[in-house]
Structures are given as C-alpha cells and as structure tokens.
Structure 1
Amino acid sequence: MHNRLSQSRKAPMIMNPRRSLLCFFLCLSPVMCDRVYVHPFHLFSYNKSSCENLVNLMQEEKMFVPVSIESQTIPAYEETLKDKTKLERQSSDIKGDQRLSYLKDLVYVLGMRFYDVLKETLKGENILLSPTTLYRSLLSFYLGASEQTADDLQKFLGFIPPSGDPDCTSKVDGHKVLLTLKTIENLPLSSGAGDLLFSKLSCLFSAPSVRLSESLVNSLAPSSDYFYARAVDFTNPSQAAELIENFVKDKDTSKSKNVLTNIDPSTTLLFLTYIQLKANVKKASQLKELQEFWVDSSTKILVPMMSATGMFPYKRDDNKNYSVIRVPVSENALLVLVQPVNSNDLNQIELELSLYPSSTWLQNLSPRYIKLSLPELTIESTYDLQELLTKMNLSTLLGKNANLNKISDASLAVGKVINKALFKLKNSGAEELLEENGDSLPLEIQLNKPFLLAVYEKNSKAMILLGRVTNPLNGV
C-alpha cells in the first residue's frame, strides 16, 4: 500500500517506514576513501570553495529565447548543444565508484515510490517505468530550483544532509548527481550487430518570449542523445498538443502513440523525456505457431513467442515464491525475467519490491540448462509526473509557488512533466541454436502468465527499466 504524504512543504521528507529504513542503512553504510570515512552525502555536496563561486555564477547568468516549435530552421543554440552531447566519462576512481553505488539505490527507492502509485492506478494492466528517467526529470528541476523548492526537491531525491546546518555545504551539487546518473545510463547504442538500441530524447517547451537559462540548458543537453528547447503557445491547448506531438514524432523513428492531452492554457513550461530500449534475445528463434498466454486464471490469449535453449543464469526461490532467469541481450545490459511460482501471483512480489535492494534479482544466480519460451514484446508507457505527484499528495513540489528562477527569470507555471518509455523485445532472427549439455534434458520454462521484467546496467547494477507484463499484446 503506497504512502499518503502530507501536503506541507516538508512532505518530501516523509517516507514509508520500510523505505526510510532502507535510506537509513544507506546513509550509515561506511564509505571508505583512503581509510577515512566519508558520509555518502558529501560525495555529492558542495565544498566551501564551490560555495564561494555560486553567487558569481548566478549574477553572470545568460538567458535566451527559444525559437518557435514551428520554425523550420535549426537555431544556433541547438548547433552548440550538439557539440555538448558528450560529457566526459566519470573516471573509475574510488569516489566515482562510491557515487555510483550510492546513487543507484536512491534512484531505485524513488522509482519504487512511483511504481507503488502506478500499480494501484493500473491494476491488472501492463506497467513500464524507468527509474533513471524519473530521477533525471526531477533532478533537472532541482538544477533550476532555489530556496525552499530546492530543499524540498533535494529531500525528495533522497539527499538529506547529515547535519542541520543551513549553509551551502548542506546542499547537493546537482551537476555531480547528473554526471553520475549519465554514467549509469551510459548504455552503448549497440554492443554487437544490432542487438541493443538505447536512446534518450528530452524536450523543454516554453511559452513565447519566456527566456531560459543558457547554462541550465547546456547542463541538461549532454544527458540525452537528443535535446531540444522550443517555444510553444499554450493558450491554445489543442493546437499546442498537436504541435508537440508532431515535433516528437518527427524525432521518433518508432512513430509511437500520442503523449499529450488536456494541457493547461496557463502553462509556461512543459518538460518531456522519452527513452527507447530495443533488444534482441540472442540465439532465440520465433515459434511458428501462436502460443497460449494466461492473462488470468480463466482467460487465455494467443501471442507470438520465441524460444531459446542453452545455459542461463537462473534461480528459484521457494521462500519468496518466484523464479528469476537472466536473458542475454547485450554485453552491457542485463535483462531479468521474474515469474511467480507455487501458485503465487505478481501482487505479492510487487509488495516486496521496496523491501530489498535493487540488485536482489541478480544475486545467487547459477548456470542452468534451460529451454526458455517467452513472448515477443512491445510495451509503451506515458506518464505525467505532475499527476503522479498529486496522487502522492505532493502537488506543491512543482506547483505554482515553486521557485524555479534558475530555469528562467520569468515566473513559471510548470504544466505537464511527461515521461515516456518504449521497450521492444524480439528474437535474434536466426535459426535456434541448441547448446548441448551432455545427456541432460533442459529445464523447460514458459513465460505464459503475467511476469515482471527489469533491465540493469551491467557495471553499476542500476535498474534502467522495470515492467509488469499482464498482456503481451497490449501497450500501456
């Protein structure tokens, strides 16, 4: 049961007790650097020398007005952004590794708070959620926030300073967090012959004549493969929605579903992020006949499936009543599939998601000779974070009184904050190759009833995607 938070400005500090316990242990875990204890918060906080420069940076802030979304010319600032799309990779030093380890758990905790809301809202339906994209969206607003809004967003992102000192060093440097998050999301476009595609698109739409911070846009742009800042007249909501839809579709080769409805005409800023992850299961072939998939105990449908036989990392946990199998899709991405066993259902597994670390499903897997059958999938989701925050009783977080003066020198009315995700899972297109295992018969596993899936970044073990599949034929 997801937590109902107070609507006060201190609401982001209040968490479900079991999540608070997780954060408590995260903060207490010793982080050693040259044998000197460093509190995890200080891995991302400002130091005193950085604090001295902040006032000067604010005074030197440059602003620009984005070109109209209807413009056919590429603006000069967009050409500049293309040159900034590659951030320096974070070195694999001790501090960098510590930041990755700490941040991936904060990303997971926040993702599960949103997942709790979605599973209550979308009962019995497919769910697809990207914890890293959710975190990046809110972090983007933190970079543009000041005063109480910045404090509330910092706490909501999981960064609670170890002391109550209100000075600059109690604040998190969002650029350090953004760089670490980019390292987590830095899956290559392909690690082989088209076996995985991972792309990120971000758009910042502002009302005409609203000036945006040049430094903020320059900070956000490198975290996406494609970043656009354009002006839109929101006073005509239906036309604004159509213009944005067409703009996004022009950048999106998959030509996916529409993402916008009911834009508030008072909006002066709308933020949209869209990630696509397309993967092929190695050595898998499509089954010639459609196969049965049980949507529930009394309803079955016929769906296209694929099959692969070989050695798979696998475990069956009869205490928690689920099995886990890791499927090869890329050298840099880990896909795990989780299915209930012993007459269990997904509900119980979902209830325990936030009780354990994000990498629980990756632990204690052993090679097993398996014949695996699973559906081919195309799952798409679109969520407005403003609606989800309202359901968490946190509508004020990015509400009309939010102080976002680092985004613009105008008084902003943040409209929708759209997070969109697309996940496609196909077979490799080759004939199925059977890996021999002596005289052993393979364990047959069929994902022919609702299951969970997750995609992890291999090195950090951070969760990039989490999905619930109740009907492989339906998107979200």
Structure 2
Amino acid sequence: MQKRQPQSQWLFNMNPTSLFSFFLCLIAVAGDRVYVHPFTLFAYNRSSCKDLENLIQEEKTFVPIFIKSQAIPAYEEQPKPEMQSLGANGKQRLSYLKDLVYVLGARFYGAVRETRKGQNILLSPTSIYGSLVSFYLVASGQTAADLQDFLGFISPSGDPDCTSKVDGRKVISALRTIDDPLLTNTADDLFFSKLSCLFSAPNVRLAEPFVRDLALAGDAFYARAVDFTNPRQAVEQINTFVEAKVTSRSSNLLTDIDPTTTLLFTTEIHLKANVKKASQLKEPQEFWIDSSTKILVPMMSVTGLFQYKRDARKHFSITTIPITKNALLVLVQPINGNDLNTIESEISLQSSDWLQDLSPRRIKLSLPQLTLESTYDLQELFVNMNLSTLLGKEADLSKISSANPTVGKVINKAFFKLNNLADEEEDPSEQNEDVMPMEVTLNNPFLLAIYEENSKAMLFLGRVANPLNGV
C-alpha cells in the first residue's frame, strides 16, 4: 500500500492555483454565509480602468538620497492617513485576507522547516505577505500575474481587462488595518514596530507612487541610494543604517550582497510583550530538547483563566493567553508522547482551527522566557519552493523604474521577545480560587503563534526547539 503523504507536505507542494482553489472550498463549506469571491473584493473597479492607465503614464520619478546623508527627504515625511471605519466591504476583505496570509505563511514555514530541522523558527506571515504585495504593486506582465496567483488571488474569469487584476493598494490598506491597533498601542506590556527600507543603486530613478505606498504600509519607511558594486561597504552601510533606525537591539541584517544588485528591500517586524501577572521562577527549570537531552532555562509562571483545548486524537494541547487587548499568544504543545515533527506534519490548513473549540480553564502555566529572532531572504525560500523565477533577475518590475531593476535580496526579519511583567515570584496567597488550577508546563519543544485580536490575522508563527537559542 502506498504511504500516505503528510498533510503539510502535500499542502506545501501544491501549485498556487490548486492550493487556493482547495482553500476556497474549505471556506465555502465552513459556514452558511453567502459566498463572495475574494477577488471581487480586491479587484479594480471598471470605472477606474482608464484612471489606472493614466496613472501609469504620468508617474513621477525621483532619485533617493545617499545612505550616509543626514537630510530628511520629503517622501519620508508624508503623514499617514488616519484609519477609517471598515464598513461591510472592509470587514469582508479583512476576513478573507487573514486566511490568505495564513496559507502563504504556512507555505513559507514549510520551506523554512526543511532547511532548519531541529532549530528554532520564527517568521511573520503578515510581514512576508506585505513584502510580496509591495513588489506586486510594481510588477508587470507575467511577473504580476504570477505574484497575484501566489498571493492567493485567482481570477474567477479570464477577462483580460483591468478588472482581472487585484488592486494592490486595497490589499496594503487591509494589511494596515491588521497592524494599526498594535502600532498605536500605548500599553506598557507591549511594543510593536515595523520598519521597511528600500535601497537602490545610485542614479536609479524610482516611481513616486510606489514609494508613497510603501511609506503607508508600515510604521516607518526609508529609501536610500547605495553603491552595491562595493559589496563589503554596502553591507556595512546598510547594517549600520538599519540598526540606527530599529528600536530593539538585534543582530546584523545582511552578510553579503551581489554586486550586480540595483534594488534591495528589507522589512523588520518587532514585538516585545510581557505576560501580565507572570512571575519569574527563582531557579532555572528543566527543558527537554529531546528525550535524552535537557537544559536549564529561565522560566515564568502565571495563573489565570485561559482558553484551552486538548486534542486526544492528534495528541496536542493548545493554551491561549491574551498578552494585550490587541494580541493573543497561542501555545501548541505535544502530549501523550507525541513530538513536534508529527504536529508540524499535520499543521492545519486554516489558521482559525487553532482558535476553535477552546474552553475556559483555570490554569497554572509555566513557560520559558523567550527571545527569538530570524532573518530570511525570500528569494532563497522561493528557490526551496521551486519558484526561483518569481522575484529573480528576470522578474519584470518595470513600474518601479524606467530601468528594470535587478533585485538582490528581499529580506524579512522577525523579532519576538516574551517576558514576565512582575519582578517577584508568584504569591501563593493570591491564588484564592476554590478550583485548583490545572498545571500546564512547556518544558519540551512547542509551537507558538501570535494573532492580532480583532482580525484574528497571524502576526507570528514559530517553533521553540531550544529557548536558549535566539535563532
């Protein structure tokens, strides 16, 4: 009998069209609501076709200032528009988009998992999705069509006019709706930031609308000119520049650059959170990397009413903790002798599955303090996914510049730090509930995810194989 292919491997090997068609079927049968094709929600309106053609013809261009300049260019000073009420259409867009983000994130997680066996993993599905949408905005021809399909927007018809294309600005706006509650958060127990940088070769003229859209997509945006023909100097300049702009201390972004590069794009997403009412345990606790290897790690403990479920069939448990009113931490732990590889091979096709069938339980949760950091070149991951031409040297990105640029790297960096808010060990006298809490201890490798509370979009997805390794 032929061995059944693991669900996740089957998922990651599917071509984008088949994958998304299958995913749409899951959505359609998931409820009794009237089905609206997501393409319709994000496509250009027919009335804007002529305007779109005029916009492409009349785009202004500019040359970014040099990376070592201390000036602040006008294109980086544009005020960000205030978020408007979503309305019915906006809510529908967000509902579909969060699922598209998850599917894409799951595919990239599968690619990373193949290259980092037994290691920590951390990536941001929303950040990766946003980076690819940014390139879709400036792509033409087959590159635009391929990116649109990869992002999950499969046209329901073969209509060749502009209504068969997705309006990338609508997608960027919806992604901002996900990020904005966290970017504007003022609570002491959470810090969230998103930084994007576009580096171009000297004298390369960039389209103003594209740069304006990038500036609106994140917390901060910078465009600078860099001489890539001196790779060592370019690496040093970019790392120094980015380090000066980020608010969290982290490792270097780049180690090398192809001297033929004329365009390089980077995005960093940082989240630092404190678990409310959690206390650090006085002594380091055992954490089993595998069945025969243990280490001692700093851990914290918190007792409260948390959402929980135990899946006896798939042998894992899920505990969710609100880390602020805008962010939800989801912890997935193997049980009954199961291991993380088995859980990962059966990872759900729908991100909402992890949030379903939960029930409130009084729990005493013990988990490691965490600092995770990962840097990925999306082009390298595309090679692992057999999609090397998607943003390769032959990609048509002519909308960004009259001289079609050569993309050197598309870097996505994710940083997550989880700590306790209290400084002292938990006071037993505060546990005056009649019901004894169930004890849940994360002392072996586990998965984590962080969702934005309102949209239920997945901001981070990761594996903790060793809490002492920051990736």
| TM superposition score normalised by structure 2 | 0.93
Q: 1:378 aligns with which of 364, 371, 379?
A: 371
Cα deviation for residue 368 of structure 1 reads: 1.1
Count of residues in Structure 1 that have an aligned counterpart in Structure 2: 462
Q: 2:130 aligns with which of 136, 160, 163?
A: 136
Asked whether the 8 Å contact 1:384–1:419 carries over to 2, the reply is yes
Residue 45 of structure 2 corresponds to residue 47 of structure 1: yes
Residue of structure 1 equivalent to 2:24 = 23
The worse-fitting range, judged by mean Cα deviation, of 397-406 and 287-296 is 397-406
**Structure 2: how far apart are the matches of 1:356 and 1:46?**
29
Cα deviation for residue 29 of structure 1 reads: 7.4
Q: 1:449 aligns with which of 422, 439, 444?
A: 444
**Structure 2: how far apart are the matches of 1:335 and 1:265?**
41
Task: Evaluate the alpha carbon distance shift between residue 437 and residue 164 of structure 1 in structure 2; reply closer, same or farther with a 3 A threshold.
Answer: farther
Cα deviation for residue 70 of structure 1 reads: 1.1
3-state SS of 1:200 partner: strand
Question: What are the superposed Cα offsets for residues 296-334 of structure 1, whole Å, 9 maximum, x if unpaired?
Answer: 111111111111112211111111111111113100111
3-state SS of 1:188 partner: helix
3-state SS of 2:102 partner: helix
The worse-fitting range, judged by mean Cα deviation, of 68-77 and 385-394 is 68-77
| Matching residue's letter, 1:441 | M
Written as runs of structure 1 = structure 2, the 5 A alignment for 1:200-279 is 200-279=194-273
| Matching residue's letter, 1:454 | A
Question: What are the superposed Cα offsets for residues 433-455 of structure 1, whole Å, 9 maximum, x if unpaired?
Answer: 56546433221111110001100
Asked whether the 8 Å contact 1:2–1:113 carries over to 2, the reply is no
Residue of structure 1 equivalent to 2:56 = 58
Residue of structure 2 equivalent to 1:310 = 304
3-state SS of 1:244 partner: helix
Task: Evaluate the alpha carbon distance shift between residue 45 and residue 462 of structure 1 in structure 2; reply closer, same or farther with a 3 A threshold.
Answer: same
Asked whether the 8 Å contact 1:369–1:437 carries over to 2, the reply is no
**Structure 1: how far apart are the matches of 2:277 and 2:392?**
50
Written as runs of structure 1 = structure 2, the 5 A alignment for 1:93-104 is 93-104=87-98
Residue of structure 2 equivalent to 1:428 = 421
Cα deviation for residue 14 of structure 1 reads: 4.9
Cα deviation for residue 184 of structure 1 reads: 1.5
Cα deviation for residue 92 of structure 1 reads: 3.0
3-state SS of 1:187 partner: helix
Cα deviation for residue 190 of structure 1 reads: 6.5
Task: Evaluate the alpha carbon distance shift between residue 458 and residue 61 of structure 1 in structure 2; reply closer, same or farther with a 3 A threshold.
Answer: same
Q: Which sections of structure 2, spanning at least 5 residues, go unmatched?
A: 1-7
Asked whether the 8 Å contact 1:204–1:228 carries over to 2, the reply is yes
**Structure 2: how far apart are the matches of 1:338 and 1:437?**
28
3-state SS of 2:175 partner: helix
Aligned alpha-carbon RMSD (Å): 2.1
Task: Evaluate the alpha carbon distance shift between residue 253 and residue 38 of structure 1 in structure 2; reply closer, same or farther with a 3 A threshold.
Answer: closer
3-state SS of 2:197 partner: strand
The worse-fitting range, judged by mean Cα deviation, of 334-343 and 424-433 is 424-433
Asked whether the 8 Å contact 2:38–2:153 carries over to 1, the reply is no
Asked whether the 8 Å contact 2:12–2:110 carries over to 1, the reply is no
Q: 1:409 aligns with which of 377, 395, 402?
A: 402
**Structure 1: how far apart are the matches of 2:149 and 2:117?**
29
**Structure 1: how far apart are the matches of 2:433 and 2:281?**
25
**Structure 2: how far apart are the matches of 1:141 and 1:384?**
14
Asked whether the 8 Å contact 1:308–1:433 carries over to 2, the reply is no
Cα deviation for residue 38 of structure 1 reads: 3.8
Residue 156 of structure 2 corresponds to residue 162 of structure 1: yes
**Structure 1: how far apart are the matches of 2:379 and 2:408?**
8
**Structure 2: how far apart are the matches of 1:282 and 1:195?**
7
Q: 1:366 aligns with which of 331, 346, 359?
A: 359
Residue 389 of structure 2 corresponds to residue 396 of structure 1: yes
Residue of structure 2 equivalent to 1:440 = 435
Q: 1:126 aligns with which of 120, 131, 153?
A: 120
Residue 455 of structure 2 corresponds to residue 460 of structure 1: yes
Asked whether the 8 Å contact 1:283–1:433 carries over to 2, the reply is no
Written as runs of structure 1 = structure 2, the 5 A alignment for 1:62-211 is 62-79=60-77, 81=78, 83=79, 86-189=80-183, 191=185, 193-211=187-205
| TM superposition score normalised by structure 1 | 0.92
Residue of structure 1 equivalent to 2:5 = none
Asked whether the 8 Å contact 2:103–2:349 carries over to 1, the reply is no
3-state SS of 2:40 partner: helix
Determine what percentage of the aligned residue pairs are the same residue. 65
Residue of structure 1 equivalent to 2:4 = none
| Matching residue's letter, 1:419 | N
Q: Which sections of structure 1, spanning at least 5 residues, go unmatched?
A: none
Asked whether the 8 Å contact 2:202–2:225 carries over to 1, the reply is yes
| Matching residue's letter, 1:123 | K
